[in-house]
Amino acid sequence: MFEDYVSDIKTKRATERDLEIIGEAVNRIFKKDKNFKLENAQKIIGTRNRIIHGYDMISDDLIWSIVINHLPKLKKEVEFLLNK
């Protein structure tokens, strides 16, 4: 699957864009509520900033790792918060 990701520029850009949107959403939440509990919130915001401001520093390995290792955990955390 990683090879498919790396070879498909549209998927790569769409994935990066979605991570930007997630990071911006977390950033906006924290501007309104500094006490909002979300694990890795600063890393999420930092990833957004890195993608937006440092395209030459974004590796396929990094994005793939986020998608595979971190997004499933974030999804569960958000679902839990929504169902509270």
- Span 45-76, pLDDT tens digits: 999 999 999 867 789 999 999 999 999 999 99
- pLDDT of amino acid 55: 65
Dist CA 44 CA 48 (whole Å): 6
The percentage of the chain sitting over the pLDDT mark of 70, rounded to a whole number, equals: 98
Active site residues: 48, 53
- pLDDT of amino acid 35: 87
- pLDDT of amino acid 77: 95
Query: Would you state the structure tokens that stand for residue 18, as one six-digit string?
Result: 């979605």
pLDDT in tens, 30-48: 999 988 889 999 999 999 9
